[in-house]
Amino acid sequence: EAGVTQSPTHLIKTRGQQATLRCSPISGHTSVYWYQQALGLGLQFLLWYDEGEERNRGNFPPRFSGRQFPNYSSELNVNALELEDSALYLCASSLAGPNTGELFFGEGSRLTVL
Amino acid sequence: AQSVTQPDIHITVSEGASLELRCNYSYGATPYLFWYVQSPGQGLQLLLKYFSGDTLVQGIKGFEAEFKRSQSSFNLRKPSVHWSDAAEYFCAVGAVNDYKLSFGAGTTVTVRA
- Judge contact between B78 and B87, C-beta under 8 A: no
- Min Cα separation B9/chain A (Å): 9
Q: How far apart are CA A21 and CA A53, in angstroms?
A: 18
Q: What is the mean pLDDT of residues A24-41?
A: 91
Higher pLDDT, B52 or A72: A72
Contact B46 A102 (CB under 8 A): yes
Chain B residues with CB under 8 Å of A31 CB are: none
Is B49's Cβ below 8 Å from some Cβ in A? Answer: yes
Q: What is the mean pLDDT of residues A52-75?
A: 94
Q: Which residues of B touch A98 (CB under 8 A)?
A: 94, 98-101
Q: Cβ of B43 and A55 within 8 Å?
A: no
Secondary structure of chain A as H, E, C letters: CCCCEEECCEEEECCCCCEEEEEECCCCCCEEEEEEEECCCEEEEEEEEECCEEEEECCCCCCEEEEECCCCCEEEEECCCCHHHCEEEEEEEECCCHHHCCCEECCCEEEEEC
Q: How far is B6 from chain A (nearest CA, A)?
A: 11
- Is the pLDDT at B9 greater than 70? The verdict is yes
Is A55 within 8 Å of B99 when comparing Cβ atoms? yes
pLDDT of residue B41: 78
- Predicted confidence at residue A94, as pLDDT, reads 87
Instruction: Please give the mean pLDDT across all residues of chain B.
Output: 91
pLDDT value of residue B29 = 74
% of chain B surpassing 70 pLDDT: 96
CA distances to A34, A71, B19, B69, B92 from A50, rounded to whole Å, are 12, 11, 38, 32, 21
Residue B4 has φ and ψ, to the nearest 5°, of -130, 135
pLDDT value of residue B78:
98
pLDDT in tens, B40-56: 878 899 999 998 888 99
